[in-house]
Structures are given as structure tokens and as C-alpha cells.
């Protein structure tokens, strides 16, 4: 049975999940990597869409709509004395060297690129990334310099985007392995409660497959951009329930006479 058949079986059959406890650990590890890949699909789609359009949109706005400015000593300065807000193709660009606009004032539900007094902020699908201008050190950045950087990013985007997604995939894989490792201990506990003969290495295997339904559900919800209240708690609950059902399918220990 290949990993995709196992993925299908794991959606509805705790009995089959219980059988997977005897398979090689290498196959289970490949399955965990598959779950991590599935879970990042919504973020990858949104990131690619945002990154490919944002650079062109931002460059056009910087060139046509923003005044001359400079970033020196960790601060944005310009001769313009009022905040500028530009709406373009599903994106909001905020330019405010006055210090009136703070990161907390930005709407996290709107894709935004903000040049604030001390920080550069990017908001994409509710994810907020803020960087201080102090990262430039003693280097001065002007409007013309920013346009040159955006041109370079545009030329390199099909190299940078895969690299960024690969780093995201590695991080997500690590977190997925950590979650499976923790819940495998829950599986051992359930095995003891239910008087099932379940070793930790076997629990690790069935825990990986018990995470399938939760992973697919939350991936679908993210693709549909549907907010789920208390999502982590629901995730843990679903994994625990399916893990319980899988452990229950394991034959009980034989009692010594």
C-alpha cells in the first residue's frame, strides 16, 4: 500500500491505522512529510499569488505615487507631512513618515505594505511581518535605491519564491514531527488505559496517520479562507479521538493466569 492509499484509508478507517503500527519507520516518515506538504498548500498558493503581484504593484506605486524619501539611522524621512494611503488591485500601500500610524493601527484582514516611521510592515492573509529600518545599519536608502531593489527582486523572484517555500516546508515538517512525537506519548497512555499492547515506536506510527483528517480539514478551510475558532484545540481534539479509535482496534493484552 503506497502513501496515497494510506492517506485515503486514514480518512475513515481506524482499523487500518492500527495495522500501520507494524510497518517500517521510513514509510511513516515519508507520510509525515506528505502531511506537511499538504498543510502548506494554502499558504504556498497565497504566497505565490501575493509575491508575484506585490512587487509589480509596489514598484508602480513607489515610482508614481510616493514622494521622495530616505531611510537613514533607522527612520523614514520625507518632505511630505501627511500619511498617504494607496489602494491598488486588492492591496493597500501605507506611507507615513509622521509616526502617526502604528503597526497596531493596520487592518490585518487586508493585504498591506506599509512604510512607517520606524518599520516596514507586510500583511498577507492575516500574517503580519514587521522589520525595523535599523536592519539597514548605517546604509541610506532613497526612493531611487528602493526602485533598484524592487527591480532586482522582480528579476530574482522565481528563485527567491521556491527558496522561501522550501524553508517554510522544512519548518512545517519539523513542527509536524514534533506534534506527532508529542501525541505518540498520548497514544501510549491510551494504550495503557485500554490495556492494549502498544509500544512508543508503534504509537508514533499510528499517530502520524491519526493526524490525516485534521490536516486535510484545516487545509481545506484555509483554501476556502474560512476562520475556525479555537483551531489548535479542535486540531488536538480530532487527533486524540482518532488516535483513541485506532488504539481501541488493537487486540487487548493477554492476562497472565
Residue 20: per-residue pLDDT: 93
Residue 170: per-residue pLDDT: 96
What confidence tens digit (pLDDT) does each residue in 163-189 have? 999 999 999 999 999 999 999 999 999
How far apart are the C-alpha atoms of 65 and 179, rounded to whole Å?
A: 47
257 or 237, which is more confident?
237
* pLDDT of 255 higher than 70: no
126 or 207, which is more confident?
207
The count of C-alpha atoms lying within 13 angstroms of the C-alpha of 216, restricted to the half-sphere facing its C-beta, is 13
Residue 17: per-residue pLDDT: 95
Residue 257 CB contacts under 8 Å (≥ 6 apart), including other chains: none
Residue 155: per-residue pLDDT: 87
Residue 123: per-residue pLDDT: 86
What confidence tens digit (pLDDT) does each residue in 219-253 have? 999 888 888 888 999 999 999 999 999 999 998 86
130 phi/psi in degrees, rounded to 5: -120, 135
Burial of 71 (C-beta count, 10 Å sphere; 0-12/13-18/19+): buried
With contact defined as beta carbons under 8 Å apart, do 144 and 67 qualify?
Answer: no
| C-alpha cell of residue 253 | 493484552
How far apart are the C-alpha atoms of 48 and 199, rounded to whole Å?
A: 42
* Mean pLDDT (whole number) for 10-35: 94
What does the chain come to in residues? 257
Residue 254: per-residue pLDDT: 65
Q: Comparing C-alpha atoms, which of 205, 257, 244, 181 is closest to residue 23?
A: 205
CB atoms within 10 A of CB 26: 8
What confidence tens digit (pLDDT) does each residue in 97-129 have? 888 888 888 888 788 888 898 888 988 877 788
Instruction: Say what the pTM is.
Output: 0.81
What confidence tens digit (pLDDT) does each residue in 124-156 have? 877 788 888 887 767 788 889 889 988 898 888
* pLDDT of 257 higher than 50: no
Any bridge partners for residue 93, and if so which? Answer: 86, 113
Buried b (16+ CB within 10 A) or exposed e, 164-191: ebeeebeebbeebbebbeebbebbbebb
Boundaries of every domain in the chain: 3-43+163-248, 57-155
Q: Comparing C-alpha atoms, which of 131, 110, 113 is closest to residue 122?
A: 113
What confidence tens digit (pLDDT) does each residue in 62-88 have? 888 888 889 888 888 888 778 888 887
Amino acid at each position: 500500500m503506497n502513501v496515497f492509499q494510506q492517506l485515503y484509508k486514514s480518512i475513515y478507517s481506524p482499523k487500518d491505522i492500527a495495522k500501520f503500527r507494524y510497518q517500517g519507520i521510513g514509510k511513516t516518515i515519508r507520510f509525515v512529510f506528505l502531511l506537511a506538504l499538504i498543510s502548506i498548500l494554502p499558504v504556498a498558493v497565497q504566497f505565490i499569488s501575493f509575491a508575484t503581484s506585490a512587487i509589480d504593484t509596489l514598484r508602480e506605486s513607489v515610482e508614481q505615487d510616493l514622494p521622495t524619501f530616505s531611510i537613514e539611522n533607522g527612520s523614514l524621512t520625507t518632505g511630505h507631512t501627511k500619511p498617504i494611503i494607496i489602494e491598488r488591485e486588492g492591496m493597500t500601500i501605507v506611507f507615513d513618515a509622521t509616526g502617526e500610524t502604528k503597526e497596531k493601527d493596520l487592518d490585518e484582514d487586508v493585504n498591506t505594505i506599509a512604510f512607517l516611521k520606524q518599520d516596514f510592515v507586510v500583511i498577507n492573509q492575516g500574517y503580519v511581518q514587521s522589520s525595523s529600518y535599523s536592519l539597514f545599519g548605517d546604509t541610506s536608502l532613497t526612493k531611487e535605491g528602493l526602485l533598484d531593489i524592487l527591480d532586482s527582486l522582480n528579476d530574482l523572484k522565481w528563485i527567491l519564491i521556491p527558496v522561501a517555500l522550501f524553508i517554510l516546508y522544512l519548518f512545517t515538517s519539523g513542527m509536524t514531527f514534533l506534534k506527532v512525537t508529542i501525541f505518540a506519548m498520548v497514544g501510549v497512555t491510551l494504550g495503557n488505559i485500554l490495556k492494549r499492547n502498544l509500544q512508543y515506536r508503534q504509537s508514533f506510527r499510528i499517530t502520524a496517520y491519526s493526524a490525516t483528517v485534521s490536516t486535510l480539514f484545516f487545509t481545506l478551510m484555509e483554501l476556502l479562507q474560512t476562520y475556525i475558532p479555537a483551531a489548535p484545540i479542535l486540531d488536538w481534539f480530532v487527533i486524540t479521538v482518532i488516535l483513541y479509535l485506532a488504539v481501541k482496534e488493537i487486540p487487548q493484552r493477554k492476562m497472565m493466569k
